[in-house]
């Protein structure tokens, strides 16, 4: 189970990669990038074919990221998550956020075996302050019903 301390540790990282950037503007990885960019994180989009996203250089994979990257948001199909987790482990990235719907048993097991600060079943946009109204509202509802990490 994810704790608020784990969330804080993740969000304390200043260099965050995002796997799940897309040419399709409606994809959630794009929304995460745009929102975290407003919060002054140094972001590193990952896409196998794109060379840039929103004016920022794209990296083809996790292993190509610069050494200062210390966190990774995975916002992909679950089938891709385990390979991304393996690359993160090899790159010594210690903080991984599996965005809701991206997790699978293998990626979770890999994170646990390698002492990764793993956030899962949570939306990064609910916790990156100051969040936009809809995410604050969602967080408030989760708090009322006892579904927020403690």
Helix (H, G, I), strand (E, B) or coil at 48: coil
Mean pLDDT of the chain: 88
pLDDT higher than threshold 70 for residue 138 = no
Helix (H, G, I), strand (E, B) or coil at 96: strand
Q: Which residue has the higher pLDDT, 58 or 148?
A: 58
pLDDT of residue 132: 52
Domain edges within the chain:
4-144
How does pLDDT run across 12-66, given as a tens digit for each residue?
Answer: 999 999 999 999 888 889 999 999 999 999 999 999 999 999 999 999 999 999 9
Least-confidence region, from 1-10, 16-25, 84-93, 120-129: 120-129
pLDDT higher than threshold 70 for residue 4 = yes
Whole-number percent of the chain with pLDDT over 90: 72
74-95 mean pLDDT = 97
72-89 mean pLDDT = 97
Q: Which residue has the higher pLDDT, 130 or 30?
A: 30
pLDDT of residue 147: 53
Residues 87, 76 contacting (CB under 8 angstroms) = no
104-127 mean pLDDT = 94
Q: Which fold has domain 4-144?
A: Rossmann fold (3.40.50)
Whole-angstrom distance, CA of residue 114 vs CA of residue 32: 26
Residue 20: which residues within 8 A CB-CB, separation 6 or more? 27, 28, 29, 32, 46, 73, 74, 75, 76, 99, 102
| CA–CA–CA angle 87, 39, 130 (5° rounding) | 115
What confidence tier does 126 reach under pLDDT thresholds 50, 70, 90? confident
126-132 mean pLDDT = 66
Residue 22: which residues within 8 A CB-CB, separation 6 or more? 29, 30, 47
């Amino acid at each position: 189970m994810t704790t608020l301390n784990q969330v804080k540790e993740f969000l304390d990282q200043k260099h965050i990669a995002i796997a799940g950037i897309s040419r399709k503007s409606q994809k959630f990885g794009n929304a995460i990038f745009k929102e975290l960019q407003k919060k002054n994180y140094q972001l590193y989009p990952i896409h196998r074919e794109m060379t840039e996203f929103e004016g920022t250089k794209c990296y083809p994979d996790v292993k190509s990221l610069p050494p200062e990257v210390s966190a990774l948001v995975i916002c992909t199909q679950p089938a891709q998550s385990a390979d991304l987790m393996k690359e993160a482990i090899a790159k010594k990235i210690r903080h991984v956020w599996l965005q809701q719907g991206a997790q699978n048993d293998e990626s979770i097991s890999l994170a646990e075996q390698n002492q990764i600060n793993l956030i899962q079943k949570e939306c990064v946009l609910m916790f990156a302050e100051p969040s936009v109204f809809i995410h604050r509202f969602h967080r408030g509802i989760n708090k009322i019903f006892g579904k927020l990490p403690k």
